[in-house]
Structure 1
Amino acid sequence: MLASLCGALARATRPASAFEAIGNATAALLGPGLLTINAYRRASSEVVRLWSSDKAAYPVGGSKRKADTPWTRWVLHQGEVFVGEGDAALEAVFDDIAVIRGLGLSAVVNVPVCEDGRCVGTFNFLAARGVWTEGEVATLRLLAQMVAPALIAASREAQPEA
């Protein structure tokens, strides 16, 4: 799987092609779930969805202004991975918990995507699990790093002055 992903990323001529390849690899490696790839606009404290595996529930272009919360400080400001397991953990950090519940999702891994030590986006995978294994979290961290060049390029295309 990783060899074919590397080939697909090398052939990708647009960020959307790279996102699709990463999305397919994520599903193949971790099973069904919801993957979103977001740009982070530090100046406006906003995340903007660049890609989604469920475009009906989480359409591309959707955005959220992120308030100053422990999650925001942990992921967007400090660049640390957030692992949430169980309904209470998700409810504590997501205002769209009703949609998440409706999709049958019960666990999340949010991986910050960084450039020059600063968070420029997030790689978010939600699934119907009780807990994440260390290997699953490591796999998601690796996939997030692989998506970084495309995320940075897409973010710059959408906001060239940044």
Structure 2
Amino acid sequence: MNFDAFTRAVAMPGQPEVAFQALSDMVSEEIGVKLFTALTIDESAGLLRRSFSTMPDAYPVKGTKKMSDTIITARMMGEREPILSDGPAAVEAGFYDYELIFSLGCESCLNVPIVVAGEVIGSINLLHEAGHYTPERIETARAMRLPAALAFLVERQWGEALAA
């Protein structure tokens, strides 16, 4: 895995967008995605914010919202491990916006929680066709947690703070 482009991106102005774009590019190259989003999580306040999206028309970067009680959110916050929802039935069971997901040609979602100092600070969300996220690709996604953590920490330092 080549982290050079990501490392150069983190050093550039225009943060945190530049870091998230470089992370998205690396994930796309190493794993493959149709849709990539980064979701910032303020666990103590119970707030979520989409910080980055490769399809901003369908999934715009926007303000905060309260964390919802979904199966995926509960598992991410509890297990703190990547969660695969593979196939239409799994996506429909786990996501209220499954129709939009299907309309984008996606039937598989891999949510990777990003944990720093015991706190879930975000998640990277990878969507593709059913069956795309093999055990090998999931392991590669695990390796993306380190650069993802850096992107979220860059956002905390140089991006806008979560606001209710």
Distance 1:20 1:97 in 2: 25
- Unaligned residue ranges in structure 2 (runs of 5+): none
Matched residue pairs, number? 161
Give the match's secondary structure for 1:58: coil
- Measured against aligned partners, the alpha-carbon deviations of 1:49-102 in whole angstroms (never above 9, x if no partner) come to 001111111111254433334322210233121111001111111111111010
- In structure 2, the residue matched to 1:159 is 161
Compute the displacement of 1:10 (Å).
4.9
Checking the alignment, whether the CA contact within 8 Å between 1:77 and 1:118 is kept in structure 2 is no
Task: Indicate the larger mover: 135-144 or 2-11.
Answer: 2-11
| Stretch deviating more after TM superposition (130-139 or 151-160) | 151-160
Distance 1:64 1:88, change over 3 A: farther
CA contact (8 A) 1:113 1:119 kept: yes
Structure of greater relative contact order (alpha carbons < 8 Å, 6+ residues apart): 2
Supply the distance in 2 between the matched residues of 1:128 and 1:71 (Cα, whole angstroms). Answer: 18
Moved more, 79-88 or 126-135: 126-135
TM-score, length of structure 1 as denominator length:
0.86
Listed as ranges, the gaps of 5+ residues in structure 1 are none
Range with greater deviation from structure 2 (111-120 or 12-21): 12-21
C-alpha distance in structure 2 between counterparts of 1:45 and 1:7, whole Å: 31
In the TM superposition, residue 160 of structure 1 has moved relative to its aligned partner by: 7.2
Identity %: 27
Q: Is 1:81 matched up with 2:82?
A: yes
Distance across 1 between alignment mates of 2:75 and 2:33: 26
The TM-score with structure 2 as length reference comes to 0.85
Q: Does the CA-based 8 Å contact 1:33-1:127 persist in structure 2?
A: yes
RMSD: 2.2
Return the alpha-carbon distance in structure 2 between the equivalents of residues 109 and 159 of structure 1. Answer: 26
| 1:5 corresponding residue in structure 2 | 5
Equivalent residue for 1:45? Answer: 46
